[in-house]
Amino acid sequence: MAPSKLPLHADEELGKKDDDHRYTGPGRFKPLQRSAIHRPKRIVFLVVLIICAYQFVKHMPTDLTPAVERYNPTIAKLRSPNAGTVRAPSQFTVPSQAHDALEKVSEQHESQISGNQQSYDGKIRFQDLAQSLPSQKHPKDQASNAVVFAGSSLHCISSLIPLACRMAKQRLNQVHLVLLGKDEVSIEGIKQVNGIRDSECPMTWHDGRPDHATQSTHARMERAVVGGLRLIQEFIAPEVIITENQDQEDSFFWNGLSLHKYESGVSQIILPTASVDLMWIAFLRTHALKAWNGIQIEVVIHATQSSGALLRLIQSLDAADYLGSFPKVTIELPALVESQLLESLQNIKLNQLRSHITLRRRLEPRYMNVAESSLRTVESFYPLNPSTTHLLLLSPQAELSPSFFHYLKYSVLRYKQSPGPETTSLGLLGISLELPTSKPSVDNSPFTPPSMSSFSNDGIIQNNQKKTQIPSLLWQSPNSNAALYFGDKWVEFHSFLSSHLDFEGKGSSASKEKQISKKYPAFMEYLLEMMQERNYFMIYPSYSRHTALSMATVHTEMYHVPEEFSDEKSHTDADGDDSDTVPSNTHDLEGSHENLVSGYRNIMPLLDTFELGLPDIDDLPLLSFQGRTMTPEELTSRTKSSF
């Protein structure tokens, strides 16, 4: 019988409830206890809470800027390029303290940091660049006159600083210097190490280094260079970027800069040597600096039969510093040439110009006349681009300084490529490297340049006059010894000579009195006529009389009479005047003085002597062919017959 059905063995009269006598064994059903199961609403709340916590942790931002910066909507993101490909994003993110708006860009892949110290490839942020940028973008249709010095290596930055500071002190351009490297040294630290004071170096510094620069991958740094330069281009619009050469810079900087140049078209000047040797760049405006890479100078030498003087000239050309761009050298040989000259030209030892020299030998064995000689000289050069390609015409008797090319390029950029107020009706034909001691006129009279206040009576420069410009003058006289002629003016000379000889051939032109001595090539007579008709002048260096810093000298011990006048030796003119007797030996030539050429490979000693550089063309004295001082007003009112 089941325990629940057993009979009760208690007395009913005792008043006990039936419950007291119930069986309490283990099989007895127990009363219902309180349930541990939660209510359904609490379960749902708990599940939602867990999901929210998971989503928050999963999407937690790790790159928030300070709160004051997060309320500006100019944060941009960068998309990572494909593997092995460097692409420039349209914008890079910068703190928005200095800008109202920057365009949005594509997203960057999530940051990835591994054990490698240079493996960071996260999105690019420029923490400090906005602090130095203007508040608004520069108008695209307005010139900025801005020059940016850029570099990634601290060594290169230190090399650029002297030139950048010198240019900033001239206040001709707006000068900026931007850091785009990995080093963590602050701008203030760089200033302190290089001894820079803001009062002495009034240029703007920009820190274009991205966040996590020292841990960044090579590809990320390339993109950072492109992005930093793009922001510089948008807000500063530099017309020229000046850098050190590729061998001294980081490869990521060079790759990024090359891509930026391709996109923006901005001009780049790569310094071929230390900036302290090129301080004359500081005296050039941005318009001239933009033409730096386009300037080409071709050398033409009209040789004689002997070899000694020509070989000396070629060796002096080979010893010059050409700033990384070698000129084309053409040597015009006569029909009759000494065998020793040909053998010497074949065996001459050259370090730079061996592959840049071209020989041209005339076939006609007879002597040329005046017209033929002039045509041969003029036809020996024609510029590919008249505005940037120029002729350096040299006599075999010339010898050049190793720094002559620095002086010529500085002068061409200063006077030919720099816009500015010009003297009324004044045209610049070229630049002479030497100052003759006598006029090239028939009477061969001595030439005395205007006195210079920078020198004492004994010709020594005064210490208190160093703060002056390089003494120069404008003379309406051609030069055949060592002179550069501008390409566009030489093109004019082609047309002028062609028309002139055509009139002479038809007998249309009247006989004119000869002005240039027969000691000089025949083309100079025609060139002088063009100069007088069109009011053209040449710049001559008047400082060479008083310093040992001449760019060229002319030796007279190996002088030869021009071929077109060689049959007139020891003969006088038909009128009996022997003032223009062609010299039969070297001692009769007095047109040039043998100055000691400068042995320096740059013109810094010249700038140390004359610290203000080349003067404005309007400040130069004007001299007529006869050496008389003129005023611009006189030039415009006089005709050629007045000379």
Cα dihedral angle (138, 144, 150, 156), rounded to 10 degrees? -160
Tell me if 52 is assigned to some domain: no
Domain shared by 283 and 235, yes or no: yes
Find all residues with CB under 8 Å of 24, minimum gap 6, and list them.
none
Domain shared by 452 and 519, yes or no: yes
Tell me if 420 is assigned to some domain: yes
Domain shared by 278 and 148, yes or no: yes
- Structural domain count, the chain: 2
How far is the CA of 519 from the CAs of 121, 444, 535, 540, 584, in angstroms? 73, 9, 24, 20, 10
CA distance 1 to 47: 52
Residue 549 has pLDDT above 50, yes or no: yes
For residue 600, the model assigns a pLDDT of 94
Q: How confident is the model at residue 20 (pLDDT cuts 50, 70, 90)?
A: low
Of 258, 289, 320, which residue is a domain's last?
289
Residue 287 has pLDDT above 90, yes or no: yes
Q: Which residues is 293 bridged to in the sheet?
A: none
Domain shared by 527 and 552, yes or no: yes
Residue 311 has pLDDT above 50, yes or no: yes
Query: What are the tokens at 294?
Result: 């386009």
Domain shared by 140 and 196, yes or no: yes
Work out the number of other CB atoms within 10 angstroms of the CB of residue 531. Answer: 24
Render pLDDT for 43-78 as a digit per residue (tens, 0 to 9): 878 878 888 887 776 666 655 555 444 444 443 433
Higher pLDDT, 415 or 19: 415
Domain shared by 243 and 370, yes or no: no
For residue 413, the model assigns a pLDDT of 96
Tell me if 91 is assigned to some domain: no
Render pLDDT for 441-485 as a digit per residue (tens, 0 to 9): 988 889 988 876 544 444 445 555 556 889 999 999 999 999 999
Angle at 319 between CA 611 and CA 434, to 5 degrees: 55
Residue 552 maps to which CATH number? Answer: 3.90.550.10
Domain shared by 354 and 278, yes or no: no
Whether 478 contacts 625, CB under 8 Å: no
Eight-class DSSP state of 133? S
Render pLDDT for 556-591 as a digit per residue (tens, 0 to 9): 887 888 888 886 544 444 344 444 555 444 444 545
The secondary structure element, H or E, covering residue 275 is none
Tell me if 339 is assigned to some domain: yes
Domain shared by 270 and 329, yes or no: no
Tell me if 110 is assigned to some domain: no
Domain shared by 299 and 276, yes or no: no
Domain shared by 508 and 587, yes or no: yes
Domain shared by 303 and 268, yes or no: no
Tell me if 228 is assigned to some domain: yes
CA distance 513 to 528: 12
Find all residues with CB under 8 Å of 476, minimum gap 6, and list them.
528, 531, 532, 535, 536, 537, 538, 622, 623, 624, 625, 643
Render pLDDT for 483-522 as a digit per residue (tens, 0 to 9): 999 999 999 999 999 998 888 776 665 667 889 999 999 9
Q: How confident is the model at residue 409 (pLDDT cuts 50, 70, 90)?
A: very high
Q: Which residues is 147 bridged to in the sheet?
A: 175, 240
Residue 227 maps to which CATH number? Answer: 3.40.50.2000
For residue 48, the model assigns a pLDDT of 81
Eight-class DSSP state of 455? B
- Cα of 16 vs its chain's centroid, Å: 119
Find all residues with CB under 8 Å of 486, minimum gap 6, and list them.
386, 390, 412, 416, 428, 429, 430
Whether 202 contacts 173, CB under 8 Å: no
Cα separation of the two ends of the chain: 158
Residue 320 has pLDDT above 90, yes or no: yes
Of 289, 324, 342, which residue is a domain's last?
289
Of the candidates 103, 99, 100, the one whose C-alpha atom is nearest the C-alpha of residue 90 is 103
470-497 burial by CB neighbour count: b if 16+ within 10 A, else e?
A: bbbbbbbbbbbbbbbbbbbbbebbeebb
Name the residue range of residue 140's domain: 135-289
Render pLDDT for 517-531 as a digit per residue (tens, 0 to 9): 999 999 999 999 999
Tell me if 69 is assigned to some domain: no
Find all residues with CB under 8 Å of 263, minimum gap 6, and list them.
88, 230
CA distance 199 to 201: 6
The secondary structure element, H or E, covering residue 212 is none
Of 289, 322, 343, which residue is a domain's last?
289
Mean pLDDT of all residues belonging to the chain: 81
Tell me if 75 is assigned to some domain: no
Helix residue ranges per DSSP H, 319-369: 339-347
For residue 57, the model assigns a pLDDT of 67
Whole-prediction pTM value? 0.79
CA distance 127 to 220: 16
Render pLDDT for 327-357 as a digit per residue (tens, 0 to 9): 999 999 998 888 888 999 999 999 999 999 9
CA distance 565 to 436: 21
Find all residues with CB under 8 Å of 306, minimum gap 6, and list them.
338, 341, 558, 560
Domain shared by 305 and 272, yes or no: no
